Amino acid sequence: MASSSETHDTTTQFYKTPDGATIAYHVLGAKNVGIPLILVMGLTGVKEDWAHFAYDLSRTRPVCVLDNRGIGESSLSPPLPPFRDPPQLTITQMATDVFSILLHLKWHRFHLLGMSMGGMIAQQLALLLRGRDDCECLSLVLLCTTPKAALRGFLAQLHAKLSDSLAVNVAATGGASKSNLTADEKLKLQRAMIESNFTPDWCRANSAYVDTLIQNSAKWKRPIRITVQQLEALSTFDVTDQLHLVSTPALVVHGLNDQLINAQFGASLTELLPNSRLLTLPNVGHMMYHMDDGQTATAIESFLREVEGGARAHL
């Protein structure tokens, strides 16, 4: 695991999309010669949330981490008159943003990794890239994600609470959608959201670490209206009848104690992807790389090298 004392270039760079959104990104390990890897974050996540995991993966290759539009240092496209708000987020739009960054970086051969909602974005992008001869996605790595999403349990409760907070404020002010939650309510909600990524036992055993994650989370822009839009975008995601078309080698990784997306969905994903394998992690929750002592990063690096070896053999 990369230590906090290691020096990495985390200078934020920005790309303006054709529709006027701004996508913020970092490239770690830019001077490394390995085939590059792009990481796509999930619900409410920002590029900094990859933390040591991204640094570990960048030891042998360039790794791009980005903020999905509207969150972190990225911005939405401008409203289209007569609307006062920008267009609603969609999984497809966020997938095209990732592709725009790949083109901007001139990464024509790359590995694609997505986590949770980011895994849905990655699946959508893999489908969009079929048949293109100007770029090659060598592998697909899908962490704690699903081929078909729905708002269940905590996510359904979260959507209801946040949507209500926006609706009440719009009704009261007649203005654009902003939440009426107090600072204390937002902090409690942030704690609940972060703790849902782990297991109760792990949170109790690592309470100081969880507190640090919560403090760090507050450093970055995570608008409630964007969280609601992300939830609504993923709630209609369903590529179960299309994934058989994706022949890209895929590694699916899922924690067996995932409270947000049950491990059965990782198994379903593996069954639907014709060239995939499944790695399950006992006693690990949703945000696996904080809990697994480096097992996920090690497995991914091994998988990427195996795929690259196979690609060279077919040249």
Spell out the domain ranges in the chain.
Answer: 13-149+237-313
How is residue 6 written in tokens?
A: 């290691």
Tell me, what's the pLDDT at 155? 78
**Residue 209 identity (one-letter amino acid):** Y
For domain 13-149+237-313, which architecture applies?
3-Layer(aba) Sandwich (3.40)
CA-to-CA dists, residue 184 to 43, 71, 139, 191, angstroms: 21, 21, 43, 11
How is residue 252 written in tokens?
A: 């699916």
pLDDT over 90 percentage in the chain: 75
Beta strand pairing call for 136-143 and 250-255: parallel
Positions of the chain with pLDDT lower than 70, given as ranges: 1-9, 151, 167-180, 311-315
Tell me, what's the pLDDT at 142? 99
In three state form, how does the secondary structure of the chain look? CCCCCCCCCCCCEEEECCCCCEEEEEEECCCCCCCCEEEECCCCCCHHHHHHHHHHHCCCCCEEEECCCCCCCCECCCCCCCCCCCCCCCHHHHHHHHHHHHHHHCCCEEEEEEECHHHHHHHHHHHHCCCCCCCEEEEEEEECCCCECCCCHHHHHHHHHHHHHHHHHHHHHCCCCCCCCCHHHHHHHHHHHHHCCCCHHHHHHCHHHHHHHHHHHCCCCCCHHHHHHHHHHHHCCECCCCHHHCCCCEEEEEECCCCCCCHHHHHHHHHHCCCEEEEEECCCCCCHHHCCCCHHHHHHHHHHHHHHHHHHHCC
Note if the bond before 36 is cis, omega within 30 degrees: no
Tell me, what's the pLDDT at 164? 77
Tokens 């690096």 belong to residue: 301
Cβ 128 vs Cβ 245: under 8 Å: no
Task: Note the pLDDT tens digit of each residue in 121-163.
Answer: 999 999 999 988 899 999 999 999 999 987 677 777 887 778 7
**Residue 119 identity (one-letter amino acid):** G
**Residue 312 identity (one-letter amino acid):** R
Tell me, what's the pLDDT at 177? 54
Cβ 23 vs Cβ 101: under 8 Å: yes
Tell me, what's the pLDDT at 73? 98
**Using alpha carbons only, how large is the chain's radius of gyration in Å?**
19
Tell me, what's the pLDDT at 313? 58
Tell me, what's the pLDDT at 312? 64
Tell me, what's the pLDDT at 314? 56
How is residue 110 written in tokens?
A: 């790359």
Q: How far apart are CA 92 and CA 161, in angstroms?
A: 26
The predicted model scores a pTM of 0.91
Write the CB contacts of 127 (distance below 8 Å, at least 6 apart in sequence). Answer: 239, 242, 243, 245, 246
Tell me, what's the pLDDT at 71? 98
Tell me, what's the pLDDT at 165? 73
